[in-house]
Structures are given as C-alpha cells and as structure tokens.
Chains A and B, each alone.
Chain A
Amino acid sequence: MSDFEPKIIGFLCNWCTYTGADLAGTARIQYPSNIRVIRMMCSGGVDMVYVMKALLEGADGVLIGGCHPGDCHYQSGNFKARRRVAILKKILQQLGYNEDRVWLRWISASEGKKFANTVTEMVEYLKKLGPNPFKYTGNI
C-alpha cells in the first residue's frame, strides 16, 4: 500500500480556494500533486452528481473548496453547498461507504498555506484509508 498515490478531484470556487491554490503555486509552497482541480464559479455550483461521478469513476477523494461563511460572492452558495454535502455524507454513511472521502473546506484567496496544508492532510488521510473501492467495479 505504501506506493499508493491517491487521486483527489478538487472542485474549487474561483473567488477563493482556486485563487488560494494559485497563491500557493506562485508563493512556491510545496504540496502533493495528487489533486486535479476543476474551477467552479462558486461552491454552490457543485452539484453532488459531480462529486458522485468522481467517486464512481475511482477518485479516492473529493475536495470542495468554498469561501468562508459570509464571504460567498453569491451570498449563500457556500451555505447551500454545506447542506448538499451534509445530505451526500448521510447517504454515503447509510450505504456503509466512508463519507470522509469527501471534504468541504473554506479556504480564502489569501490562504495559500491553508490550501497546501489541506491537500497534504487529505493525501495523508487517503493513503491510510487505501484506494476507493469503486476503482475496481464496473458499476457506475
């Protein structure tokens, strides 16, 4: 298991976490390259169907990054995202699937360091957890 490199799909809000990730890059803060980033205009635009699609296709984890509460450019996108993620996690839990493969984090445009730390932490966590069981099933 030691050479297992988890794949993470990141749905990052353009106004905060995505810019934060950019900042981490320009400031040359090191973080693992396991994340594939998809830029969203708001965390409220992340439909859970995207998250499940990523998991069913075999991503080991999904990171949703949005603006801190009160900072969403569309007022309430992040609050709505939080409810959707809560529902998704409850469903996964009911189906005996580790809901902690999905992370929702508030990371602002200035928090390059926090972004790098979050990805590092998530990679460590997923390494311990092992590969997503969906990777090897033909059911999508």
Chain B
Amino acid sequence: MGVSIELNNISALKEILKESLENKVVDAVLGLFWDENKETVAYGMTKDVNILERLEVLCPSMPVQGARVVSNIKFTETPIRVLCIIKPCEMRAVVELVKLKQIMPEKLIFLSMDCGGALEPEKFKEFNKFGKDVVGEYLSCYENFSDFSYTSENYRFACRVCDRCVPKISDLRLRSYGKTKYLEALSDKGHKFLNETIKDGLKEMDFSSYEDSLKKIIDNRKANKDKERELFKKEINSIESFTRELSACIRCHNCMVNCPADYCKECIFRSPVFDHPSENYELWLERKGMIKLPSDTLLFHLTRLNHMSTSCVSCGMCETSCPVGIRLTRIFSFIGEETQKIFDYEPGRSYTEELPVATFREKELDKV
C-alpha cells in the first residue's frame, strides 16, 4: 500500500502533470498525443504545458510498443528526466529492456494505469474519423467499472485475453476505474515524484473494495484467455498446422521490428544470410520438390520463438504490425508461457529476476 492522491477525474491528473513540468520535477512528459485533426494518437514527448492539452492518458490505442519508443531514445548523453505514460504490457517490456541494458531507467519515471485495453490502430482512427466518441465511451466504461475490452471483437486479441492489465512494478499506478481515480506510488521514485509535485492530499489509502471490483474484470479476462488457449492448442498442434498458420507470411520482419523483446542489433535476420545464392534454390528444388517463397519463414518464426519467447510480454504488438493477419499473439504468448514455465520466469515481473537465457543453474534440467 503506497502513498496516493485522489483525483476527481482524469483531467485532475493532467493538472498534476502540468505542475510537475512547471516545478521542474520532470523535464518532459512522454505519452500518447492527438494529432491536429483529433483523428488518431501517436507517442510523443513534450515539455510544453500547452501541448499537454493534447495528451490522452487513458486511451484505447497502442500505435507502437511504448518500451520500444523509450529504448530508441538514448537518454545517456542528455539525462533529462522524463515521465513516461505507458500501458502495463509496455511497462513489462520496459523491465525486460532494462535487464537487457537497452533502457537506462535512472532518470525516467514510469506511470502506468489499470488498463482497459486498446483497439487496433486502424479501427481507432476509423471510428474517430466517423465521429464516434471512442475515448468518451472508453472513459465512461471505466467510470462504471464495466468490462469493455474482453467482450468486443473491436479490441485487440492481446487485450481481450490480458489478465495482467494492472501495473505491478511501475513507479506510479493510476487506478483508473470508477468515477474517482487515484494515483498511487509503487516505488520510491514514484513517492518522491508525488511529494515534490503535490502540496497536500497525499495519504495512505485502503483499496480493498477497489481491488474486489477489479478482480471480477481480471477473472473474466483470465477465463477468456483459458478458453482461447485451449482453442489454440487444439488448432495449432502440429508442424502442418503451424506451417499453415504462417503460410501467408511475407517475412517483412514487421513483427520483429515492433516487438520490444527483439532488441538485438546483430540479429541474423537483419543480415544478408538469407539472400541465398541461386544454386541453393536449385538444390531445394532437387531435394524438396518445391520451395515456399519468400524462403525461411518457418525458420524466422522458430528462431524468434527460441531467442525471445521467454521475454514475450504478450503485448500483441507483433500481431498489430502484421500486414497479413497472422495470429502471432496466440503463437508467441501461448508458446512463450510454456518456455517461461521451464524457468518459473515471468517477463516484466521484477527487475532482479534474471533473464532465463542469460543465466543458468549448475543443477537443473537433468533430462534435457
């Protein structure tokens, strides 16, 4: 139970963010900002309190993985203090990237929220464009403690089955359900931020009834996940069915480029290794009778599963990025669960839990 501040509505949070910029508690705020036409949102960073008007804290869109955005900025040379507003799955990816030394978190403060999920970015834009008040509806669902994302096909698959929609390890947690919201410090850094920004109203609070109502939402999602996992395991249980699922893959690498866990600059799939000389194709024709083109799509996905599935945070960004609709979230999240289980590892759970592939125990895995 951390120190919290009560917020009458979501705009009250914006006031706090403004104060934190004005009082130089942080140098910039990173989050989702509306474009000029208010059609869609994109990640952005600002130190201008006027631009904060365009910030949307509770926003059902995830145009790119937030952890990716943060890790792309090298905060090392200019250590500005940035408050980053990201969703819980993005926060889990931040934890993984900190462990992989791709994010230096010292000057960053992470604010995450009890998350209601997101639409695919094209849906989000389309709805807004045709005058649907997407964010308004989203906010009123929050206010009524109603479970919106898991029932609506418009939401991303990853969100419909997400039972980790509450941030456990960010510096600040926005308890976003109900009419009154709360901003709670989960870490010393978060506590310090609240102390420096807010003059009065900070107190320890009891959230047990909030947690009870939240549990219902999480349980629904969990049940949905169990159902989908079972369906997946029935459907994709052989190399043939796996190959079929991937048959449309054009190996554009979008899934890899947008996945927060695929951080490696020396990735074999970023090299010319797969520009095979034409003799190879002749050999394949000889040996196999045909060759699927582009080649190496199975190898690509199997390699990703081997290299990063232990760090898959189930954010679904791979699926959002895929131009041919391959159900990548199911593949990576459900198979990732299994590889993570071997080491009792949960990506994004803790900063100190070692990455399974970066460590070992002398006595383990006797039967491999």
A56/B362 contact (C-beta < 8 A), A48-B306, A84-B357, A89-B368 known: no
**Which of B61-69, B164-172, B173-181, B295-303 has 4 or more CB atoms under 8 Å from chain A?**
B295-303
Closest Cβ of chain B to A58, distance in Å, is: 7
A133/B239 contact (C-beta < 8 A), A52-B303, A82-B368, A140-B291 known: yes
Of chain B, the residue at the smallest CB distance from A133 is B239
Q: How many residues of chain A get a CB closer than 8 Å to chain B's CBs? A: 34
A137/B306 contact (C-beta < 8 A), A82-B368, A87-B357, A91-B335 known: no
Check B101 for interface membership: any CB of A closer than 8 A.
no
Q: Looking at chain A's contact residues, is the secondary structure mostly helix, strand, loop, or mixed?
A: helix
B306-322 interface code vs A (CB 8 A; 1 in, 0 out): 11011000000000000
Closest Cβ of chain B to A81, distance in Å, is: 9
Check A86 for interface membership: any CB of B closer than 8 A.
yes
A48 touches B303 (CB 8 A): yes
The CA-CA distance from A55 to B357 in the complex, in Å, is: 22
Check A25 for interface membership: any CB of B closer than 8 A.
no
Of chain A, the residue at the smallest CB distance from B303 is A49
Give the residues in chain B near A80, CB-CB below 8 Å: 357, 360
B335 touches A52 (CB 8 A): no
Check A125 for interface membership: any CB of B closer than 8 A.
no
Give the residues in chain A near B306, CB-CB below 8 Å: 48-49, 52, 84, 87-88, 91
A136/B288 contact (C-beta < 8 A), A52-B303, A90-B342, A95-B242 known: yes
Give the residues in chain A near B339, CB-CB below 8 Å: 87, 90-91
The CA-CA distance from A139 to B368 in the complex, in Å, is: 27
A95/B298 contact (C-beta < 8 A), A82-B365, A138-B289 known: no
Check B268 for interface membership: any CB of A closer than 8 A.
yes
Check B127 for interface membership: any CB of A closer than 8 A.
no
The CA-CA distance from A39 to B167 in the complex, in Å, is: 47
The listed residue (A82, A83, A85, A95) touching B236 by CB distance below 8 A is: A95
B299 touches A138 (CB 8 A): no
Closest Cβ of chain A to B131, distance in Å, is: 45
Closest Cβ of chain B to A104, distance in Å, is: 6
Check A73 for interface membership: any CB of B closer than 8 A.
no
Closest Cβ of chain A to B279, distance in Å, is: 14
Classify chain B's interface size.
35 or more
Check B152 for interface membership: any CB of A closer than 8 A.
no
B335 touches A94 (CB 8 A): yes
Check A45 for interface membership: any CB of B closer than 8 A.
no
A138 touches B303 (CB 8 A): no
A15-44 interface code vs B (CB 8 A; 1 in, 0 out): 000000000000000000000000000000
The CA-CA distance from A97 to B239 in the complex, in Å, is: 6
A104 touches B297 (CB 8 A): no
A136 touches B289 (CB 8 A): yes
The listed residue (A87, A104, A137) touching B243 by CB distance below 8 A is: A137
Of chain B, the residue at the smallest CB distance from A93 is B338
Of chain A, the residue at the smallest CB distance from B269 is A49
Check B2 for interface membership: any CB of A closer than 8 A.
no
A59-86 interface code vs B (CB 8 A; 1 in, 0 out): 0000000000110000010011011111
A52 touches B342 (CB 8 A): no
Q: Please name the 4 residue pairs, one residue from A and one from B, whose CB atoms are nearest each other, closest first.
A: A79-B360, A138-B290, A96-B238, A48-B306
Q: Would you give 19 A-B contacts (Cβ < 8 Å), ordered by A?
A: A48-B306, A48-B307, A49-B306, A49-B307, A52-B299, A58-B288, A76-B360, A84-B306, A87-B309, A87-B310, A87-B356, A90-B342, A91-B309, A94-B335, A96-B239, A137-B243, A137-B288, A138-B292, A140-B292
Which residues of chain B have a CB within 8 Å of any CB of chain A? 236-239, 241-243, 246-247, 268, 284, 287-292, 295-299, 302-303, 305-307, 309-310, 334-335, 338-339, 342-343, 356-357, 360-362, 364-365, 368
